[in-house]
Chains A and B, each alone.
Chain A
Amino acid sequence: MDIDKKIVDDLVANDVSFITTVPCKQLAGVIEEIDARKEIFHIPSNKEDEGMGLCAGAFMGGKRPAIIMQNTAIGVTINTLATLIQYYRMPLPMLISYRGELREPVACQVEMAVHTKALLAQMNIPTYHFHHQADVEELDAILKYTFMCNKPVAILTDANFWGGYGDQ
């Protein structure tokens, strides 16, 4: 299974047409696939809270948005999640590269990883953790759930899901 293609197929099938991204090695293939799809407007952002602002505007303009980011961005976006996305009740699928989990080579990444789920739980953000490749089968249902309930929803994808970091 081409996981990048499967993820983007699900996004397109759920009418997600406005995606903002910050760069990520694990999600590089997904970002490349997004760039290649004419159904999706791809707008890279400089910081994740900025990206959430773009998504909020796009949603009010009639598009279904999504953001692609790393879990460190949870530390950057708590205020935006609380006072914009949640306060105005907007849907936002967050496809997140979950750094600092099993098979992580960079110790510092673990420092935010240990806070990630706690912060998401504190924010009452529905959270799904993709650890095995087969977990991606739930993405379609997660996207439908997100746009049904108009909430931010986190999809954490760890290194094991992506097949490790190779020879790093």
Chain B
Amino acid sequence: MIRSEILKNIAPILRDQLVVCNIGIPSQELHAIDDQPSNFYMLGTMGLSSSIGLGLALAQPKPVISIDGDGSVLTNLGTLPTIANNVADNFILLIIDNGSYGSTGDQPTYAGKKTRLEKVAEACGCENVVTCQAEDTGEVLQAALDSRKMTVIVCKCESGNAKHPVITMDPVVIRDRFMKAVQA
């Protein structure tokens, strides 16, 4: 199972939540599968999905799901101690760990080699870290939402990308409609 199949499976859960989606192909896939005003698509700035999501979760009470990748978390590894030490129980970090840099041609990441992000998250002090297989993501994500506890999910899946067009929506439009969804 690849990332786009996971996103298709969990789209009915994501639809009702505030979602911050990682740069590149993940955002293109989510946009093509189920575009919602409550999706914040990152058009640049690799690595900051988890930081944006945490800031959003700390600033308001609605649940926030940051969809991140293993490569992006490795880019901004300092995010995990910040998350662990600033608990927001309305925050879920969903790391789709396919062991590769999908948007740049599936080059292997260190998470696809010896590094285990779930152990890094635990060592950073994250209290609820769940590792799951791609097929179980929906169930695990719903359980995390129901628990109302800050959760880091590391979802293991295969490397690969669906082919979708780039997002041409203006960034200020993405931001404006997202902020309206936050306030709704």
The answer on a CB contact under 8 Å between A53 and B175 is: no
Bound: A46/B76 CA distance, A: 9
Q: Of residues 3 to 33 in A, which have CB atoms within 8 Å of B's CB atoms? A: 18
The answer on a CB contact under 8 Å between A84 and B45 is: yes
Q: What are 8 sample pairs from A and B whose C-beta atoms fall under 8 A apart?
A: A53-B52, A53-B76, A57-B51, A57-B53, A58-B55, A61-B58, A83-B44, A89-B175
Q: Of residues 34 to 66 in A, which have CB atoms within 8 Å of B's CB atoms? A: 41, 43-47, 49-63, 65
Q: Would you give the shortest CB distance from B37 to chain A, in whole angstroms?
A: 12
Which residues on A sit within 8 Å (CB–CB) of B20?
57
A154 at interface by CB-CB < 8 Å: no
Which residues on B sit within 8 Å (CB–CB) of A61?
55-60, 182
B78 at interface by CB-CB < 8 Å: yes
Q: Which partner residue on chain B sits nearest A81 by CB separation?
A: B45
Q: Which partner residue on chain B sits nearest A20 by CB separation?
A: B55
Bound: A88/B52 CA distance, A: 13
Question: Contacts A18-B55, A57-B55, A62-B182; is A49 near B60 (CB within 8 Å)?
Answer: no
Q: Give the interface size class of chain A.
A: 20 to 34
Q: Which partner residue on chain B sits nearest A87 by CB separation?
A: B171
* Among listed B7-15, B79-87, B109-117, B146-154, interface-contacting one: B79-87
The answer on a CB contact under 8 Å between B82 and A46 is: yes
Which of B43, B48, B79, B172 has the most CB atoms of chain A within a 10 A radius of its CB?
B48
Which residues on B sit within 8 Å (CB–CB) of A79?
44-45
- Total residues of chain B contacting the partner, CB 8 A: 35
By a beta-carbon cutoff of 8 Å, the part of chain A in contact with chain B is 18, 41, 43-47, 49-63, 65, 79-80, 82-84, 87-90
Closest 9 CB pairs of A and B: A57-B55, A61-B59, A53-B51, A83-B44, A46-B78, A53-B48, A57-B56, A54-B55, A61-B60
Which residues on A sit within 8 Å (CB–CB) of B45?
49, 53, 79-80, 83-84
B174 at interface by CB-CB < 8 Å: yes
The answer on a CB contact under 8 Å between B51 and A50 is: yes
B183 at interface by CB-CB < 8 Å: yes
Bound: A54/B51 CA distance, A: 5
The answer on a CB contact under 8 Å between A54 and B54 is: yes
Q: Which partner residue on chain A sits nearest B23 by CB separation?
A: A83
Q: Which residue of A54, A62, A88 contacts B171 across the interface (Cβ within 8 Å)? A: A88
B179 at interface by CB-CB < 8 Å: yes
Question: 6 extra interchain contacts, Cβ-Cβ under 8 A, other than A53-B79, A84-B42?
Answer: A53-B50, A54-B55, A60-B40, A61-B57, A63-B59, A84-B45
Bound: A43/B86 CA distance, A: 7
B99 at interface by CB-CB < 8 Å: no
B102 at interface by CB-CB < 8 Å: no
The answer on a CB contact under 8 Å between B43 and A46 is: no
The answer on a CB contact under 8 Å between A50 and B76 is: yes
Q: Would you give the shortest CB distance from B74 to chain A, in whole angstroms?
A: 13
Q: Which residue of B42, B58, B76, B81 contacts A18 across the interface (Cβ within 8 Å)? A: B58
Q: Which residue of B51, B78, B171, B178 contacts A60 across the interface (Cβ within 8 Å)? A: B178
Q: Which residue of A44, A49, A60, A83 contacts B56 across the interface (Cβ within 8 Å)? A: A60
Which of A44, A49, A65, A90 has the most CB atoms of chain B within a 10 A radius of its CB?
A49
Bound: A130/B50 CA distance, A: 34
